[in-house]
A and B are shown apart, each in its own frame.
Chain A
Amino acid sequence: MSGSALDPKTAPVFPIAARTAMKDGQLRRNVRHATDVIQAKRARVVAEMPDWQELREAGKQIRQHTMENLDFYLEEFEANCTRAGGVVHWARDAAEARQIIVGLVKASGSDEVIKIKSMTTEEIQLNSALEAAGIHPYETDLAELIIQLGHDQPSHIVVPALHKNRQQIREIFQREMNLPKLGERPEDLADAARIFLREKFLRVKTGVSGANFLIAETGGVCIVESEGNGRMCLTLPETLIAVAGIDKVVPRFADLEVLFQLLPRSATGERMNPYNSIWTGVNAADGPRAFHVVLMDNARTEILADAEGRQTLNCIRCGACQNACPVYRQTGGHAYGSVYAGPIGAILTPQLQEMHHAQSLPYASSLCGACYEVCPVKINIPEVLIHLRNKVVKQNGPLNVEAFAMKMMGMIFLSEHRFRAAQRMGRMAEAPLVRRDEKGEGWIGWLPGMLGGWTKVRDLQEMPQETFRDWWKKRGTHGS
């Protein structure tokens, strides 16, 4: 994987990218192993909660209520954040957000920033914008550091380096940190990262973070994490810049009671995050002197305006859907061509970007429902996938082979007479393709065109000579 950002505008369509990813046996083993481990942990800690389903419902209600009153809560957040000494900036899209952040970093007088892991900064490709402006960003989350040093891209929302195993990480550290004698124990790797990062924490004066939640009631920015690097980035710099999608807001401080139970259990199978930090404005005695929050839309109001797609914004970025998804398990995250991979990526990316750039993602699912089952805020991902598929179909219009075939099938199913005729036609059409096996059964091992995907690894049994309805009709005449 090259260092260039995953951009849905240029990324290949999902089936092509998936084929490439699936050729990488090491990557697939890493992804399957990691998702199996996290899933098993998640299942264990969820089973401990007798009220898990009620919690999910509460989570859904909080998120749904917020989205229905988003304008109100955003203004409340802005007022309270400002009152606490923060400065709120509004960004319509990624370009505007990048411009604001680059400007704020420059104004802070620093040409380096330390970063807390943030999917939003990945979404807007902030690091390359900072570098283009002569500012060096240091990722401080261990996995993000691996990604950055490996000139790679994140492949999972919570575990961005999930596709890498320990040996691969060691090689990256040996090369990039110039540590040829680095050991291969997890402690050795953690130690190397700690030494590497500590110097940055103490030296760099400007921090950039995302936000897990924005609390409207208090104007606070909430970060949850497991390593403590986030807390370092929140407290040590003189200037702190947080960037968040407008969907990150929650109404009340008390709502965290629900979300703090749902998020860590769903994400990593932890009962509680080791570090939960809430940063509210500035304080003369401690922490950053300047505190900025960039509230970014980037197509979120368009998603909000779509009654069926809206629930996508309820996502709290736990990644449970990715771990549960059988498609993600086979391909890993990069095949999705966007920083949001897996089921949530398959519905979020096409809505964040123009549909034209992400036509294949709504179809990158067997609609098995495993994602919906684990989602802590009950986003009905299969339902949204189908809704987006309908949008794709409408966008493509009737002038293509699939649309024509679907229309024909629809016509056929509207008449019993036509259906019977089609069944007869099917038997005639398949006849030249049928071969007898050793038992004398007829099987098709090769199909033309689009259907060829089926016969690549599967045979298809020939159609029986008699349909059920023919049998039923005959049975009625002659008795059973």
Chain B
Amino acid sequence: MRVALFITCYNDTLFPDTGKAVVRVLERLGHTVEFPAGQTCCGQMHWNTGYQSEALPLVKRFVEQFRGAEAVVVPSSSCVAMMRDHYPKMAAEIGDAALIAEVSQLLPRVFEFSEFLIKRLGVEDVGASYPHRVTYHASCHGLRNLGLGDGPVRLLKAVRGIDLVELNALEQCCGFGGTFAVKNADVSSAMLEEKTGAVLATGARVCTACDNSCLMHIQGALHRQKTGVKTLHLAEILAAQEGAEL
């Protein structure tokens, strides 16, 4: 299959390794990856902060970039949630018939990365090997908006040598919430403290998730506290093969 990759603006800029890992996994499974170069941002940051008129052109841009794709894979559940929950409503609100039609045709072909593997390809074992103790954080958008369920955990369980330990209070938000972490820094920090406490309690060396945004937040505190525990996007663990280091 020809898979178009939407890498997201912050993965492109801050977490390129996630994109590389997605490419490795998909190519290992025999698919061709494309990267429409004009892509930038899905508009989530603007939309969620209240800047609706700035978000709309980004929606149109996304549709233009990906309209011809057979499947679009996105390694971020919050960006996919933005598209599914809000794009149709945004198009309907401005009454743009062409955009409404394009969005409704495109969205069924857009998948979050783990969702694409499980639901579209029907794969659980992607041939990864990662012999380390790992815990999985379910990001809110993946858990509630996309209904990923135990999909990511099933993918992780199929990884050779992995020692997967369950995170306590899995469904609890890590406190990132985009601009929430800055606008309500104190509350966000208190929420983060509970989350990092739960991560450390597992004894895992690595915390993984389907969103680099949550992970950036969690990693920031784990590093500040000099815990030595690191974070990796799910794709990076699924891309790992024999001999992979921590």
Contact = CB atoms under 8 A, between A and B. Distances in A.
A470 B183 CA distance: 32
B187 A363 contact: no
A468 B16 contact: yes
Interface string A441-470: 001010000111110111111011011111
Interface of B: 7, 9, 11-17, 19-20, 23, 27, 35, 37-41, 43, 45-52, 54-55, 57-58, 61, 85, 140-141, 144-145, 171-173, 175-193, 216-217, 219-221, 223-224
A231 B165 CA distance: 51
Given A14-B184, A363-B180, A369-B145, A410 B172 contact: no
Given A22-B187, A368-B140, A453-B181, A463 B13 contact: yes
6 A-B pairs closest in CB distance: A366-B177, A453-B185, A458-B220, A389-B50, A410-B54, A368-B173
B111 to A, nearest CB: 18
Nearest to A36: B169
Contacts, number: 188
Contact of A389 (B38, B48, B181, B221): B48
Given A327-B191, A454-B220, A410 B57 contact: yes
Interface in A78-111: none
Contacts of A419: 9, 40
Given A386-B48, A453-B183, A461-B219, A370 B171 contact: yes
B50 A364 contact: no
Interface in A342-395: 362-370, 372-373, 383, 386, 388-393
B88 to A, nearest CB: 13
Contact of B187 (A327, A472, A473): A327
Main secondary structure of the interface of B (DSSP, over half): helix
Nearest to B144: A369
Contact of A468 (B7, B184, B191): B7
28 contacts: A18-B184, A326-B175, A330-B190, A363-B180, A364-B187, A366-B140, A366-B175, A367-B48, A373-B144, A389-B48, A389-B49, A393-B49, A402-B49, A403-B51, A406-B51, A413-B41, A413-B58, A414-B40, A414-B61, A419-B9, A423-B12, A443-B223, A450-B182, A458-B224, A459-B223, A463-B13, A464-B14, A468-B7
Contacts of A461: 14, 216, 219-220, 223
